[in-house]
Structure 1
Amino acid sequence: MSSRSFRVDLVDNKNCICTCGKTIIYHIPCPHVVSCISELRQSHYNYVSQYYSLDNYKMTYADPFHNIPDRSTWAQHDPSSGIHPLLPPNFRRRSGRPRTNRFRNTMDEGISQSNRKCGACGIVGNNKATCPTRLVLSFKFFI
């Protein structure tokens, strides 16, 4: 469970705003909005953007797709006419393992570690390295 709270504003039957920001980015209700709408016993389908409607989906693929012409009809590379060859980008790869581009979400939140007990004193909230009683005990041994 997440310990964060989010504010949900249901403006009208078509618009909703959540402080998590997912409704604005994806144009579909986030889980917080769906939870609020289900409490009101309404359908969350009313809050999905028109981008995802069946009519807009059909209009996306209504125009024909143009095939790439045969390679013999392509223009030749001629710098005098302004047609330059398409070259790969001029950069070098970094050494080592590439960095991942993973977007974290609510499932990646870890369980809070505050319920662990200290191995030396048994008190919740510290460990052996930071145990205040252990520091007192070690000081007595030096005396």
Structure 2
Amino acid sequence: MMYLVAYAVAESENKESWAWFVKNLFECISTSAEHRWTIITNQQKGPVPTLEELYPEGHYRFCFIQLYANFKKEFRGKELKSCVWKAAKAYTRVDWEKHMTKLHSIDSRAYDWMMRLNPAQWCRHAFNPITNCNRLLNNISESFNSWVLPVRDRSIITMLGWIKRALMVRLHEWGALFEVRYGVRGYVVNLENRTCTCFKWDLIRIPCPHVVAAIFFQKERVEDYVHVAFKKETYLRTYEALINILNGQDQWPKTGSEPFLPSNKLKRPTNRPQKQRIRDPDEPQNPFKLQRKCTSLKCSKCGVHGHNQRTWKGPVKGKNDGAASSSKNVRSRQTFMRFKSDAISGEASIGNQQ
């Protein structure tokens, strides 16, 4: 299991960058002897002298993959590789000496190349037991390099933010704190304290979308995080009491008191009582009802806009025109009646001829 302790972005791997990183690292973690830190490097020139200077009492090892990569540049062969790896993995000095003797018999120069290194930095039998660690490889850092490969070409802020969120998921997979991203925004959700920095969950006690995302990540039920006031059981307990039933008014018991008389101060309004409340101008109106708002009324008597014939007060506009129109209607009616009588008499004459 890989747990990342610290990471940084530097201009290059040099002594100055390693000194800055290691100094800040040791300020965050204790370097006392009881913590028994074991530091594995890949034999780079930068970290080794810097670490020995800042933390001389530490336990240092070389990554054996990197060490063997340097070894095989000069000495190749399956037998040499087998002897070197078996010697590094040996837990006892007897086994280590046996494999190193075999290496000497095969190639004395390869034996001398390995013996110039401190056995406590690459042999398990020489590791200090206080470290509680038998690792020979530094492949954890290689796993991290492949882990962040999809975002290595991003900007520094985007890359560091992705690493931080990925570490939160890995290290606190079953915790109660979550960072939920919504576009460029981020919110902190605490399932244990039932809080969210958007404040919606704190206010109404119903999980907001950020809390729902954290609950789904935990593979839990959203209903378990809803406040008890919104549960069905609480509603049933609230209204479990029945409303008392009553008999009709004719069966009410007599109290012996004088009946109440209507108030003399009550005055009935002259117009028809209004049933609906008066709406504000900015309130939404019923879309299925024809509105008279923003419409102009026209009087059918005087032809003026602003009122109708019921509220008209005054003489009719164009009185002579109205009289001429009335006489015209009378003449038209007389003409129609005369035409009708002629038609009836014509039918009668036709019948007599037949």
The TM-score with structure 1 as length reference comes to 0.42
User: Of the two, which has the highest radius of gyration?
Assistant: 2
The TM-score with structure 2 as length reference comes to 0.19
More helix by share: 2
